[in-house]
Amino acid sequence: MTRVADSQRFILGAEVDAFEREMARQLEVGDAIGVTSGTDALLVALMALGVGRGDEVVLPAYSFFATAGCVSRLGATPVFVDIDPETFNVSPAAMAAAITSSTKALLPVHLFGQCADMTALRALSDRTGVPIVEDAAQAIGARYHGRQAGTFGALACFSFFPSKNLGAFGDAGLVTTDDPALAREVRLLRGHGMEPKYFHWRIGGNFRLDALQAAILRVKAPHLAAWSAARRHNANRYRRMFAELGLTDLVRLPVEAEGCEHIYNQFVIRAPQRDALRAHLTERQIGTEIYYPLSLHRQPCYSGTQGTPGTPGTTGTTGTAPSVARLPLDVADEAAATSLALPIYGELTEEQQRHVVASIAEFFEAPRLRTD
């Protein structure tokens, strides 16, 4: 941080150049382009592929909103498809069924830190000629049959939001690609399509990464593998504890798909009476989160009907954005109703995990005792 202050170069520059070179090496990919956030990484990646009005982009109905929002912001239509009941990741068969002559990109998400079924999705992309953009915001460093997340698509997008496995001191993101032409396009779009100064070849934007965030991430990035290993260790410890207390019939633990090295950005269980269980854990000082309480196709901005009523609507924006959900999205809806993320960060102690699992056992014990 002192080096950045002394340089007086606060945006891009040598610090960001060095960060990009180091990240490309670490993520085993040809090029890495630092941007303002994971959201802007998605936006600029789709822009680089020319996604715009009249185009469709196929994506899972169960993800963080940015995955869909970026498609709509470009005037294209997000096409929501269902997820796999085991992994929370997009169903390749559902994605295949949603492709039309308007499909401009496939946008799988490596949700919670585990790669989507990239063997099937790559085959689908090869067969149809539709490029893949990976939303790898939650999966930095995850591996799929030995290969890192972000090396399967034409482009991949990462986020350094502080809750991700590699977090900045604010917002930051990254686009990666092995295609030099796409890398050039993303770099151009990142700075208003400008080259040289004040000559504009594209209508880009300001998606430039701050040098301070790059400097901080350069210090943290070498620790990523150890931090993710600690999360994996904690995940295995949870599995043992849930089994020891006989809870595996009551709650569904996250499933590691074959060939996947899950980095557990989140450890998400599925449980009946999820909201009551969450309240019970909150009473016991255990922080939990619901990723995500509402599937994307049900969001009010996509004319969904299950949003919290009586909120916004005074901002002057009118109407809702078009979206398409051609097939049933039952698995996404079921996940939204039952999923609960437990603490999984690397510094979590065995004692803390025991408290979490014992509290869950207590929740399911209590009603049983009462009915006896």
Ligand X SMILES: *Cc1c(COP(=O)(O)O)cnc(C)c1O
Q: Where along the sequence are the contacts to ligand X (CB under 6 A)?
A: 37-39, 63-64, 66-67, 109, 135, 137-138, 159, 161, 171, 173
Closer residue to ligand X in complex, CB, 156/348: 156
Closer residue to ligand X in complex, CB, 58/109: 109
- Rounded alpha-carbon distances, angstroms, from residue 229 to 219, 220, 261, 328: 18, 15, 10, 37
Closer residue to ligand X in complex, CB, 113/343: 113
**224, 231 in Cβ contact below 8 A?**
no
Closer residue to ligand X in complex, CB, 220/237: 220
* 3-class SS of residue 191: strand
Closer residue to ligand X in complex, CB, 103/138: 138
Q: How far is the CB of 302 from ligand X (least distance, A)?
A: 16
Distance between CA atoms of residues 201 and 87, nearest Å: 42
Q: How far is the CB of 116 from ligand X (least distance, A)?
A: 11
Q: How far is the CB of 338 from ligand X (least distance, A)?
A: 19
| Strand positions, DSSP E, the chain | 31-35, 56-60, 77-81, 103-106, 133-135, 143-144, 147-148, 155-159, 173-177, 260-261, 267-270, 339-342
Distance between CA atoms of residues 83 and 89, nearest Å: 5
**107, 356 in Cβ contact below 8 A?**
no
Residue 219: exposure state from Cβ atoms within 10 A (0-12, 13-18, ≥19):
exposed
Q: How far is the CB of 244 from ligand X (least distance, A)?
A: 32
Q: Which of 248, 241, 273, 243 is nearest to 339 (CA)?
A: 273
Q: How far is the CB of 70 from ligand X (least distance, A)?
A: 8
Distance between CA atoms of residues 111 and 63, nearest Å: 7
Closer residue to ligand X in complex, CB, 39/103: 39
Closer residue to ligand X in complex, CB, 33/357: 33
State which residue has the least CB distance to ligand X: 38
Closer residue to ligand X in complex, CB, 39/114: 39
* 3-class SS of residue 134: strand
Q: How far is the CB of 171 from ligand X (least distance, A)?
A: 6
Cross-strand partners of 155: 133
| Residues making up the chain, counted from first to last | 372
The pair phi, psi for residue 158, each rounded to 5°, is -125, 155
Structural tokens at position 271? 């449980």
Closer residue to ligand X in complex, CB, 172/331: 172
Q: Which of 210, 213, 173, 205 is nearest to 9 (CA)?
A: 210
Q: How far is the CB of 67 from ligand X (least distance, A)?
A: 5
Distance between CA atoms of residues 275 and 312, nearest Å: 24
Q: How far is the CB of 133 from ligand X (least distance, A)?
A: 11
Q: How far is the CB of 215 from ligand X (least distance, A)?
A: 18
